[in-house]
Amino acid sequence: MFEVNNKMSQEGIDEIGENHAGSSAKTPLRADAFELSDAEKIEKIQENVKDILTTLGMDLTDDSLKGTPKRVAKSFVNELFMGLNPENMPVPSTFDNNYKYGEMLVEKNIVVYSTCEHHLLPIIGRAHIAYISKGKVIGLSKMNRIVEYFSKRPQVQERLTMQVVQALQEALGTQDVACVIDAKHLCVNSRGIKDIESSTVTSEFGGKFKDAETKREFLDYAKMDTAFE
């Protein structure tokens, strides 16, 4: 029975092929995702990377390569995919909007470094975020950190965009949040079609940002030259 199910599953994967598929705004994690400590994960990943490189024919006794499995394992757990661990979620410090600022606040050109979950290749781009306060404001750097946290995991850009908006909506207590991300995917730029010029734009508009005039105002701000450029 397992062999039949496994065959059907593989056929489904083959049918999807290069198509961009996603399931929901939640990152797909197993129930036992956090049973291993970070140190245990690094140890297991190190052995797996060693097996991959050996299978590819690499000589891991070479001085340049013998430390690679551990370096890769540590970068996966501590850096590239640190956003999988909820303990790394930044505390979204918010404050009362005592100065009664009622217009939109836009944080633009936030650097995005993520990893495509289909080929484990880099996604590199910029995020533009806006919100309209309903009584709370958030520290500017916290918006950058929220983008970083959700970026540091195997991702699809659509999900990343939604996760950033949902996190800010929860922190600020308002639906009036928007995010646009423009990014290059190296799974497109460096393999497959190898189109080095193309980029992908995704957006999520909540609350007042669904209004055409408010949406246009935000997009106009996002296109403005950044200070000191």
Catalytic residue at 118?
A: yes
Q: Tokens 């958030």 map to which residue?
A: 138
User: What is residue 6's predicted lDDT score, i.e. its pLDDT?
Assistant: 44
pLDDT band for position 72 (cuts 50, 70, 90):
very high
CA separation for the pair 204, 55 (Å, rounded): 42
Catalytically annotated residue among 155, 157, 179, 204? 157
Name the token pair of 19: 């198509």
Q: What is the pLDDT of residues 77-106, one digit of tens each?
A: 999 999 999 999 999 889 999 999 999 999
32 or 226, which is more confident?
32
User: What is residue 192's predicted lDDT score, i.e. its pLDDT?
Assistant: 87
User: What is residue 24's predicted lDDT score, i.e. its pLDDT?
Assistant: 72
- In the chain, the domains with their CATH numbers are 34-80 (1.10.286.10), 91-223 (3.30.1130.10)
Catalytic residue at 128?
A: no
- Any residues with CB less than 8 A from the CB of 69 and at least 6 apart, and which? 46, 47, 49, 50, 53, 60
Q: Are strands 104-116 and 154-155 parallel, antiparallel or unpaired?
A: parallel
> Please, are residues 110 and 128 in contact by the beta-carbon 8 Å criterion?
yes
Catalytic residue at 179?
A: no
> Please, are residues 195 and 187 in contact by the beta-carbon 8 Å criterion?
no
CA separation for the pair 5, 1 (Å, rounded): 6
Q: What is the pLDDT of residues 139-158, one digit of tens each?
A: 999 999 999 999 999 999 99
Res 228 pLDDT > 90: no
Catalytic residue at 119?
A: yes
Catalytic residue at 117?
A: yes
Of 200, 112, 114, residue with least CA distance to 153: 114
Catalytic residue at 158?
A: no
User: What is residue 8's predicted lDDT score, i.e. its pLDDT?
Assistant: 40
Catalytically annotated residue among 119, 158, 166, 175? 119
